Amino acid sequence: MAFIHMSVLFAVVAVLFTIYTKWRYSYWTRRRVPQLSPSFPFGNLENPLVRKHGVGEWLRILYTRFRVQKAKHAGVYVFGSPNYVPIDPEIIKNILQRDFHHFVDRGTYYNEKDDPLSFHLFNIGGQKWKNLRAKLTPTFTSGKMKMMFETLVECTHPMEEAMTGYCTSKQSVDIKDVLSRFTTDVIGSCAFGLECNSFKSDDAAFCEHGRKIFAPRSKIDTLKIAFALAQPKLANKLGVVLLPRESSSFFFNVVKDTVKYRRRNNIQRKDMLQIVMDLQESDDNAFTMEEIAAQALLFFLAGFETSSTTMTFCLYELATNVDLQEKVREEINRVLNQHGGKVTYDAIMEMKYMTQVIEETLRKYPPGTLNTRVCVSDYVEPVSGVTIEKGTKVLIPVWGLHMDPEYFPDPERFDPERFSEDNKHNVAPFTYMPFGGGPRICIGMRFGMIQTKVGLTCLLKNYSFTVSPKVQTPFIWHKYSFIITTENPIWLDINKV
């Protein structure tokens, strides 16, 4: 009898759970928003343990499917949570800019208690974000960039020495590895005031920990990340930490020791850490040591991976399109000749065609393939009329927009002329967002562009690049990487100009 009662109870629970799940997965249909059929337990996500695509590529595919249907927006489910996907650029503009006060937060996971270094400008929201953004904005003015410029250029010398060695050996080069070492040296020096010597050691600490943080994760780590993003409150209560603990400890100790050393010896440097230290000294409540370390880590992460990724794909495209490479080189030589042969801040700013090349690289290969927001108060979207409820996450399909043939004809073709003075006005607002958009646009955008231009200038003025036969194309995109990256290295052959 007891067995029968248990069987009946189990059946009732199963039926009720099925009804609830179906009701939950009809959230967007009930609001007359197009959706794809989800399945329990992952919703519209691919199973994180056996998925075929990274999240950015997955969202790009979904964008294309809804775009074919002429949809202005769509709804998807991440596990059981309904997520809103704006497709019409006007809706994206409303969310990111016009009605930003409804979407102040990114919805990215951080855990201030168990992982204080995750409490940085990119992650936090609300008034804390507003206060911190206001404090850090002076760090990235053009004046501060000029102040750090000479330090940045000095970091190109070890890279040039390494490239000379590669030319002599006639071996194909994993160009991403070279550029990651360069950006490690740049950020180590410009953010922390430290020499990383990444080209002299394969296990240089900064480079090693940068790789650990951005390395494609294990399937278990991927599941943990998916859980933290889908259920951040529960993940916080459970003490879920996403940063590798040894890397978090490394960066905290580096910052703490550097700050103590500078204050004890009254040392001033022209770098980002010094700017944050000066802010703290002018206002005792400005930053705790943990907050200083968190912002320094963000500087490192933002400058290390995104810029090296952009330069990698840029050099690949220039190696593929040799005529474009020669056009960039001609501009570099012409501008530098006007500046006494020196790489100066003003010279870099005058390289307009190089800017076009970088902008086209960021279109075709945006390091951040999607952008996220969370609705912080109920919002009636004026274009579609749909009510986006408080707590709903918004997924903005950056890569999908960048590869949409309506906005960028023949999107697979690498064409820097899209961003020329004559043509850039044709780029529709909020269809091109490599740095995000609205008040939460990337605060380090200017530094990232300067770092990228300096690196490319020093390489292209001295070396020519061709695609190695070792490169595997078409690219297979890595399924477990935060940043757009290929499964296999991008090999280039290098010759002295």
User: From CA 440, how far away is CA 137, in angstroms rounded?
Assistant: 11
User: From CA 408, how far away is CA 427, in angstroms rounded?
Assistant: 8
User: From CA 133, how far away is CA 106, in angstroms rounded?
Assistant: 14
> Would you call the peptide bond into 405 cis, given omega within 30 degrees of 0 as the criterion?
no
CA atoms within 13 A on the CB side of 336: 15
Query: Which is it for the CA torsion 415, 421, 427, 430, positive or negative?
Result: positive
Residue with tokens 């002429």: 70
Element (H, E) at 81: strand 81-86
> Would you call the peptide bond into 474 cis, given omega within 30 degrees of 0 as the criterion?
yes
Q: CB neighbours (10 Å) of residue 52?
A: 10
Check the annotation: does 190 bind a ligand: no
Residue 150 makes CB contacts below 8 A (sequence gap 6+) with: none
Beta-bridged to residue 395, according to DSSP, are 372
Give the three-class secondary structure for 431: coil
User: From CA 209, how far away is CA 341, in angstroms rounded?
Assistant: 36
> How far is CA 365 from each of CA 197, 248, 310, 332, 455, rounded to the nearest angstrom?
29, 28, 7, 23, 18
User: From CA 362, how far away is CA 354, in angstroms rounded?
Assistant: 12
Residue 396 makes CB contacts below 8 A (sequence gap 6+) with: 85, 86, 92, 95, 96, 370, 371, 372, 373, 433
Amino acid in position 34: P
User: From CA 95, how far away is CA 99, in angstroms rounded?
Assistant: 6
> How far is CA 100 from each of CA 126, 415, 433, 455, rounded to the nearest angstrom?
11, 32, 16, 35
User: Which residues are part of a known binding site for heme?
Assistant: 442
User: Which residues are part of a known binding site?
Assistant: 442
